[in-house]
Structure formats: structure tokens, C-alpha cells
Structure 1
Amino acid sequence: MELQAIDTFPPSIMAPKPPDSLPPWPLTPPDPPPPTTTTTNDVSSVITAMHVISTERAALTHLERLYQTDPRAQQGLARSVDLIVRSVRDAGKLVVCGVGKSGKIGRKIEATMNSLGIHSAFLHPTEALHGDLGLVRPNDTILLISFSGRSPELISLLPHLPATVPVIALTSHTDPSTCPLLSLHGQSGMGVLLPSPIHEDEEVSLGVSAPTSSTTVALCLGDALAIAIARKLHTTPGRGPADIFRSHHPGGAIGAAAAVATGTPLTTPSSCVSSTTFDSPSSSISLPWEDLSGSTSIPYFTLQSPPEHRRIPRDKLISLNQIPTVSASVSDSPSDVRLLDLLLTAIQHPDAKSWVFLSPSQLIPPRRVRSLLSRHTDVDIRVLDAVAKDGQPLAVHQDSWLWVKDSIPLAAAQKLILESQNKPDRISIIAVSKDLTLSGCIGVMEAEDLCDG
């Protein structure tokens, strides 16, 4: 019976609700006995390899059991199928996104989807923030792959996605409320969790934290998702998933087998086909602009205020009321604020444009937030420890802001900034105020942005 992608499952297929946590699951099986057909020198290598296979088999068994018994996991899978099918039918696509080994798994999932006639594309999160974000269209669905569920590259991408694009998170988390990748979409119904946990930590299983069981589980779940989508998407007789798959594989062994079964001529490699070069008579082509050689160019003018009349552009200012204050998620102490807390605070308040208060009087500019994230991949590190390690300042006290009136000429403000560049107290934040007071502050901006403007 095919699962229907609805909010709740019919009673006939709904498994009993499991307890808050799954019962203990056997850890990786013990090392198998040494094979009898190998030499003594080969035994240890074969045992190691078999142990890895046993470990990954146990991880897949654990995944299967989760989706057999957990209604929330079942609903997440069915909802994911529904969203992707809807996107493809609405001329959209599935966008797969991941970094590192998860990115490699994502590329394989994308290839499998396309081979089954499910329009898909891979998006590298870093390249997305440098222009490739144009790949994502309003009718698309995005699949984010991250075992930890808190890859900074993926989290940084979230606030820039179109509001109409659902987000599916394939991650080790089993509760959507704990997954940072769903921090912006979990409450809106536009975020879906595809849990892919493993039965035990890879370092415990194999003595090294290299992605092994985690990537195997992610790959398996991606394959399961692809087949389920294909069966729901391709329902026309004669154009089912198998037919679509064969039509997309005219070459190789798959194409040869399909050709034999259907009597279709085999595809011949282009290198085996002789080509004939035809000589074409030369012709003189008159380009349209050749007739304009004698024309006179027409000058154009742009109206612009004299430099002395130009003011600081208010559209670049961020109101202090829009800027959130970061807080530690593990305690009430400001000293326990982690890099993850800072990152989530920034993306959960898109109107603040990545400005974050560390305290009521200390403000972190966006460039320093991005710089800190680029230097540290461990999002659990405390911000204070990261700053101490870098030896670079992060937050700027309001006494160190450049306070200017909103009537100051733009050129005068730029001059003040340039004069401070070679001084120890270099200006990084400009506060524009009606009367040079905090209560009269209109907004703040980074000094670099004012000089660029």
C-alpha cells in the first residue's frame, strides 16, 4: 500500500507511538571471526573491513527501525515527497545543498533524482552567497544535508531563500525543534525534518570520526526519497519510473540492456562516427553597425546633487530597535554565548541585516560577524574564546561609535572616517542621530559602507 503524503497517516498504517526515546539498540556487532581463506598477513585488514561493513549495516537497520516505528519520521518523509512532487509539477525543482562529505552525498542524490525524471540541481552553499542563489526559484523545494544540522554555511544561507521555498533538513536530529536548520521555517510549516541518525558515534564504532555510517545512512535515505517521489510523480501508463529511467540512459550497460529488450538501435559513441567536412562558400557579411561609422554620438547627462549638499543615505541605516541581542542557549551567562547562538540570532532577524548586540552597549557589525564565522568551523566554541584566539576585536562599545548629526554632509562624514584609518581607535560604526543622543539615534551603518557610497 502506498503511503499518502498527508499530515497524518491512516490508522491502518500508523505504528504505535513510541516512547520519548527509542529502546536501546544493539551497538556495532563484535568483530567477526577471522576468515579461513586468507593468509596471516591479510587477516587484520579483512577483519577491519568486515567490521566497517557490520557497523554500517547496523546503522541502516537502525534507520529502518526508526521509520517503521516513529510516526513523526514517517510524516516527515511523506511530507517531503509531497513537497518535491508539487514543486516538479509546478515547473519547479528540487535544489540539493550540502558541504563537505554531505555535499558529495547531495550530488549523488541530485544525479539519482534527475535520472528518475525528478528535476533537480545541486547548490554549493558558499557559492550561493556569491551569486549562485539565483538558481533557487519561488516554486522550488530545497533539501539541506548536514549530519550535525548546524553547518554554518547552510545556516547562513537560510535568510536569503525565497519565502515560498520549503526547506527539508536531512540530519541526525530527530526533533525539529532542536534542529538549527529549521530555526526559520519550523514554526511556519515550511520546514520538514528527515531524521537520519546513526546507532552510535563513528569514533566509538571505528576509532575515527570520518563520515562513514552517517553518509551511508544519508545516501540510503536519499535513494528512498527518490524512488518514492518517482512512483508518485510518474503515474502515466507506459511512462512509469522504470520507463523514465531507461529513457534517460541510452548509453552504457543500462542503455544496451534496454535496447536489447525494446529492439532499439544501440547508441554509437560519437568517436566512432566518421564526419565529413563541407566547404562553404565565403560570403561578405555587412554588420549593421558598419553603417553608423559616420554618426555622431549623443551625450547624456545625469542629475546629481552637488557634493556639499549630499547627506548620509538613510536607506543604508539600521534602526537600533531592529537589532537583536544575542543570548546564550546553554545558560543565562553572557560569557557562555556560543558562535551558534550568534549565528542563529543573526539569521532569525533578517531586518537587522546581521547586526547583533552582544550587550545593551556593545554592538557587533555584520562584517565582524561574517569574519568570525569564516575563521571558525566549530559553532560550539564560545564567542569569548574565539575572540581571544583570534586576537581581534568583535563588539564595539557605543562610546567608540562615530556620532554624527543627520544634517552632516556626506563628504564630511567620509573625511572623518578616512582620517581614523591609521589610528588605533579606527572608526567602524557610524551612528546618525538628530541631536547626537541615543534617544535621537536614527540608525547605524558600517564605516566601510559609507565610504563605498
Structure 2
Amino acid sequence: MALDHHPIQNSEVYLCLPSHGPPLPPPSPPSPATPGDDIPCLDGLATPPEIPTSFPTFGKRLETALHVLRTEASALEGLSRLYENDLVAQEGFNAAVEEIIRCKRRKGKIVVTGIGKSGHIGKKLEATLNSLGITTVFMHPSEALHGDLGVLCPEDTILFISNSGKTGELLQALPHFDSCLPAIIITEAAHPAACELIKQRPGTILLPAPLPISEEAAFGVKAPTISTTMALALGDALAITASSELYNQKLSSVFLKNHPGGAIGAAIQNIQRISDRAISIIDIPDVGSSSSVAQVGFAMLQSKSGWIRMGGEVVFPPRRMKKLQLSNTEVLASRVPDLAVPRRQWVQVSADLEVSEAREWIFNNRRAIPGGQYKFGDDIVLVTMEEDEMCGVIEIGELLS
């Protein structure tokens, strides 16, 4: 007879225990299953978290924010008064601006160095100076001792940023900087004698930024806040002052040229500059210095722009040729004053000057300068300048049309 094989089920519990030792109590039988036991329970989700009852009020948060803003604004106001009244600060700032300008003119660069929050301020200053046409690099003081000293050249100027003026990493790197390199420091010391770095490197130009109140006293924590705000503002003042003196009215154009991206770049894409309208000098056909008026006129007919030049010293604008009334066309073109415009008569303008600004400038000169209607007449030749080089030419009449 065949037997069905089924597992044996009973409620007995078998224990395998060592032969010695006190007996263990049997385990409790399983609890009866209840609906929902098959749903896993995730920690943190099964029960809602407790909600703190001590959240700061809206007023308290705003009070803290306003305290920080007012404290830092007051510190900047004090910094302004310092440079308005203190001779040490004034002489230091003047010397720093002159040094940056000299550095630029000798084709050197500004090497900014600092560590921690001062280093971050230094990187921002590096970016600002570069955008304003003053070549700048940032050098980490620790990395300087591991090969980055190679970035320094004899034409460079060092700009230290250290609130205390005795940052260990800077002092450690200091002996390895060429003592012949000019140096500037932004620090809290109000006098050179109070700055450890200047004691070890005499001659360093001081830009004082003393704190009117310690950050711990103001905010209950030593986190760099007031000091970094003051260093940031003083760095901006230095950058704007030096670049304004270097580029004068061209500063805005220099910045726009260096900042084609982002919202600023997008805003200037549709702006037309005088260089967009000018005729490139190198693209103007060149005729010999012995060319006659007839030969110049024939060359003008073949020129795409209508312009002709004799080397880089004389140009023949098409507007003048059209107005020329001359019976003898075999005379030398360079000797006809109503046709040839020698280089000394060209009026220099920035290549990045906006057309609208150039027009306003011309109209203002016509009104304000004696004889301005003639000195800035339609036949006058403007030459666009880029980094002291003559690039393109355009007649005022063409620009105004």
C-alpha cells in the first residue's frame, strides 16, 4: 500500500543544548498574525517626526540680518573716513595705485596671494583686475613653496591680503619672494610698524583696513565677515582707481571687450561700435607716393571701400574725391590738400567707442570748441585706436549718416 508523504506538523519544540549548564526557558510561541503584518515598516516614515517648538520668530531672524548689514555698512563708512582723513592711508593708497600703473606699463602682472577667506577675496580681486585690463594671477602661498614661485617675473608686483598681517603661510613664503619685487599689503594694521609682514619685508606698501569692532564682539563668532567685507571693498577701490587712470574714457570699452559672456555680454551684443563701421587700414589698397590724382581716382574705382592710401602716412577718402574740382589730374595726389589727408590730421578715437557715443562726442565738440564745425566737419578722418595701434579709418560724415 502506497503511503502519502506529508511533512509532520506539531507544536513541540526541540532544543539542542550542551550537556552542562542551567537549562534555558523555551521560546514563546508566535503571536497570531494580524492584518497588515506583511507591510514593511520603514524607520522614520512609520511615525511623523516631532516638530520643534522653538523656531526663531520672523522678527528675530530679520533683527539678526539687519544687525550684520548695519555693522558691516558702519565698518565701510569708517574705512571711508580713514582714507579721507588719515595721511598714512592716503599715502599708501596713492603709492599702491602708482605701483599698479607702473607694473602695467612695464608689461608686468599683479600677483595676488593670501590664504583662507583672504585668499577667496584675493581670487575675486584677481578676476576684477583682469576684467579691467590689468593682468593678474592668484598664487596660493603654500603652493608657492611647491613650484608656483615660477609664476613670478622681474616685472611683477605682489599684493598680499592678510587681516592679521602675520599669517603663518605668508610669512613662511616671504623669504622666497625676490626682495626686488614691489609689494602691497591689505591688512588691519593702521601703521607699517604694527604689521609683522612689513617688518620682515620693509618697503611694502600698506593699505590699512582696521576693524572698528572685532567680529566676535559683533556677532559672537570669529568667522571672517567684517574683515573680508572691508578687504573686498578696498580691493575694488584700488582696481577701479588704477584702471580708470590707465584707460581714462576707454575703461568701459576695455571691460566690455573682456566680458562678452553672461547677462552683461548679452546686453552689448547689439551695440554697434565705431570699429564695426571703420575701414581696416591694412585692407585699403596702397599706391605709390608718386601717383597722380588720375591714378588715385582710378584706384579708388577699383577699391571695394573707395579708400586709397600711400603707405601708412596718407589716406584718400572717397568723399573728398567726389567733391574734388581740379582741372589738372596729372599732379601728384599727395600734394592736393583737399584730397590727401596726412596722418598728423587724423583724429584718434577708441576702437571700442560706441557709435552713439561717438556721434554725441562729435556734436558736443562742434558746439563747444571754437571752429568745431570745421575741426569736426564731415570730411575729417577718424582713426580707431586699439592698444596704441591705428587700426581703421572712417570719415565723420560717414559715421553720422
Scaled to the shorter chain, the TM-score interval is 0.5 to 0.7
2: distance between equivalents of 1:122 and 1:202? 26
Which of 17, 32, 47 is the equivalent residue of 2:63?
A: 47
2: distance between equivalents of 1:78 and 1:203? 32
Aligned to 1:244: 254
Asked whether 1:209 is paired with 2:219, we answer no
Aligned to 2:208: 195
Aligned to 2:121: 105
Deviation at 1:156, TM superposition (A): 1.3
Which of 100, 103, 127 is the equivalent residue of 1:84?
A: 100
Deviation at 1:142, TM superposition (A): 0.5
Which of 154, 175, 179 is the equivalent residue of 1:163?
A: 179
Identity of aligned residues (%): 48
Aligned to 2:268: 258
1: distance between equivalents of 2:130 and 2:273? 25
Aligned to 1:316: none
The one-letter code sitting in structure 2 at the alignment partner of 1:210 is A
The one-letter code sitting in structure 2 at the alignment partner of 1:61 is E
Deviation at 1:137, TM superposition (A): 1.0
1: distance between equivalents of 2:209 and 2:273? 42
RMSD across aligned positions (CA): 1.6
2: distance between equivalents of 1:158 and 1:150? 11
Paired residues of 1:143 and 1:167 also in contact (CA < 8 A): yes
2: distance between equivalents of 1:40 and 1:93? 49
Aligned to 1:139: 155
1: distance between equivalents of 2:119 and 2:266? 31
Aligned to 1:229: 242
Matches for 1:430-445 after TM superposition, within 5 Å: none
CA shift in 2, pair 1:263/1:78, >3 Å = closer
Asked whether 1:152 is paired with 2:168, we answer yes
Aligned to 1:119: 135
Asked whether 1:173 is paired with 2:189, we answer yes
Deviation at 1:172, TM superposition (A): 0.1
Deviation at 1:263, TM superposition (A): 7.0
Paired residues of 1:98 and 1:106 also in contact (CA < 8 A): yes
Paired residues of 1:170 and 1:194 also in contact (CA < 8 A): yes
1: distance between equivalents of 2:273 and 2:97? 35
Deviation at 1:261, TM superposition (A): 3.0
Paired residues of 1:167 and 1:182 also in contact (CA < 8 A): no
1: distance between equivalents of 2:261 and 2:221? 40
2: distance between equivalents of 1:109 and 1:263? 29
2: distance between equivalents of 1:81 and 1:40? 47
Deviation at 1:191, TM superposition (A): 1.1
Deviation at 1:117, TM superposition (A): 0.5
Matches for 1:311-350 after TM superposition, within 5 Å: none
Helix, strand or coil for the counterpart of 1:118?
A: coil
Aligned to 1:219: 232
Paired residues of 1:93 and 1:140 also in contact (CA < 8 A): yes
Helix, strand or coil for the counterpart of 1:92?
A: coil
1: distance between equivalents of 2:228 and 2:73? 12
Deviation at 1:185, TM superposition (A): 3.0
CA shift in 2, pair 1:40/1:175, >3 Å = closer
Helix, strand or coil for the counterpart of 1:261?
A: coil
Paired residues of 1:139 and 1:164 also in contact (CA < 8 A): no
Deviation at 1:40, TM superposition (A): 8.0
1: distance between equivalents of 2:94 and 2:178? 23
TM-score after normalising by structure 1: 0.47
1: distance between equivalents of 2:56 and 2:216? 27
- How many residues align? The count is 220
Deviation at 1:184, TM superposition (A): 3.2
2: distance between equivalents of 1:83 and 1:40? 50
The one-letter code sitting in structure 2 at the alignment partner of 1:247 is K
1: distance between equivalents of 2:113 and 2:56? 45
2: distance between equivalents of 1:40 and 1:139? 55
Aligned to 2:110: 94
The one-letter code sitting in structure 2 at the alignment partner of 1:144 is F
CA shift in 2, pair 1:78/1:263, >3 Å = closer
2: distance between equivalents of 1:179 and 1:134? 27
2: distance between equivalents of 1:178 and 1:263? 50
2: distance between equivalents of 1:230 and 1:154? 27
Deviation at 1:183, TM superposition (A): 1.8
Mean Cα deviation higher: 159-168 or 96-105: 159-168
Deviation at 1:42, TM superposition (A): 1.2
